[in-house]
Amino acid sequence: MRKRLPPLNWLRAFESSARHLSFTHAATELSLTQAAVSQQVKGLESQLGAVLFKRLPRGLELTEAGLAYLPVVHEAIERLAAATEEIFGQGHGRVLTVRVSLVFFTHWLAMRLPDFRERHPEVNLRITSNIWGGDSSVTDVEADMEIRYGHGEWTGLKAERLTWDTLLPVCAPFLPSEQAPLATPKDLRHHELLHVLGYEEGWGYWLKKAGAGQVDSSKGMQFDTLISALRMAELGQGVALARSSLVQSMLDTGQLIAPFKSRLTTSEAFYLVYSPHSIVNPDAAAFVAWLSAKAQEGRARN
């Protein structure tokens, strides 16, 4: 049977007394009387069934049991104090929690966040990631707002559009070859297709629109996030169907190439989703305004 944990005030009395080797000094630190500290330590010893201190005429000395117990108790109290300060300390009310689609954070938001931090150093951001947002409300996931992928319609929530994407196949620069070219969409029959689950407009949709419906859209590996598919494409393991906003930086650096000139507009997009009531928070309002401006900058460049 698991031993019952002692009360926290008993543990604090022991830890302070052990550091000072004095009930009197521990009492001063804890704003208690010397008798109260001594009584709490006795209660701890009684529950543990072990003597923690040798009571000497001029102070205290830790027993072997006390010496063994002190580091554990000290670390536990320190970690609890640090966590309490981090979560509930000064300024905790100004933490803005944003739940973000993981692929959007990795390939779009992360590179832009330093600009927000520079403009709004007073806002403490907490970023939590997800893969698919689902249909739960923002309050259900304990976030002030969320970035989701879809058509922009979530009951009771406001949605700010962030991307205007085209669908484009991407691959490693060294993947096309004489034996397995990628000059036209029909050449995809020579290559592994990298699928991402959850998107309405996947390989089957793109191949049909590109006039390559005879290519078997069922072949290839499947992933639950575009992050994985893009990484495999970068390694030359196949061709991924990407969203333009998420791969532009990889195309710019040459990590990936888009072998076909044609682009297909997608009806899905990333949206910033939040309750209309949350915008009264000035930090939330600042983040919405900043992110919307960044999204429009990106749209203007496309």
Average pLDDT over residues 76-94: 73
Residue type, 188: L
Q: Which helix (H) or strand (E) holds 294?
A: helix 282-301
Q: Are 280 and 200 in contact (CB under 8 A)?
A: no
Does the pLDDT of residue 141 top 80, yes or no? no
Q: What is the pLDDT of residue 294?
A: 95
Distance CA(196)–CA(100), nearest Å, equals 18
| Structural fold of domain 166-265 | D-Maltodextrin-Binding Protein; domain 2 (3.40.190)
Ranges for all domains in the chain classified under CATH 3.40.190.10 = 92-164+268-301, 166-265
pLDDT, averaged across the chain: 89
CATH 1.10.10.10 holds for 8-88: yes
| pLDDT confidence of residue 133 | 47
Contact 37, 31 (CB under 8 A): no
CATH 1.10.10.10 residue spans of the chain: 8-88
Q: How confident is the model at residue 84 (pLDDT cuts 50, 70, 90)?
A: confident
Residue with the larger pLDDT of the pair 15 and 57 = 15
Share of the chain above pLDDT 70, in %: 91
Q: Which CATH number fits domain 92-164+268-301: 3.30.420.40, 2.130.10.10, 3.40.190.10, 3.40.47.10?
A: 3.40.190.10
pLDDT in tens, 25-57: 999 999 999 999 999 999 999 999 999 999 998
Report d(CA 97, CA 143) in Å as an integer. 5
Residues 6+ apart with CB under 8 A from 75: none
Q: Which residues have C-beta within 8 Å of that of residue 31, sequence separation ≥ 6?
A: none
Q: Please, are residues 274 and 145 in contact by the beta-carbon 8 Å criterion?
A: yes
pTM to 2 decimals?
0.68
Instruction: Quote the pLDDT of residue 134.
Output: 47
Instruction: Reply yes or no on whether the pLDDT at 135 is more than 60.
Output: no
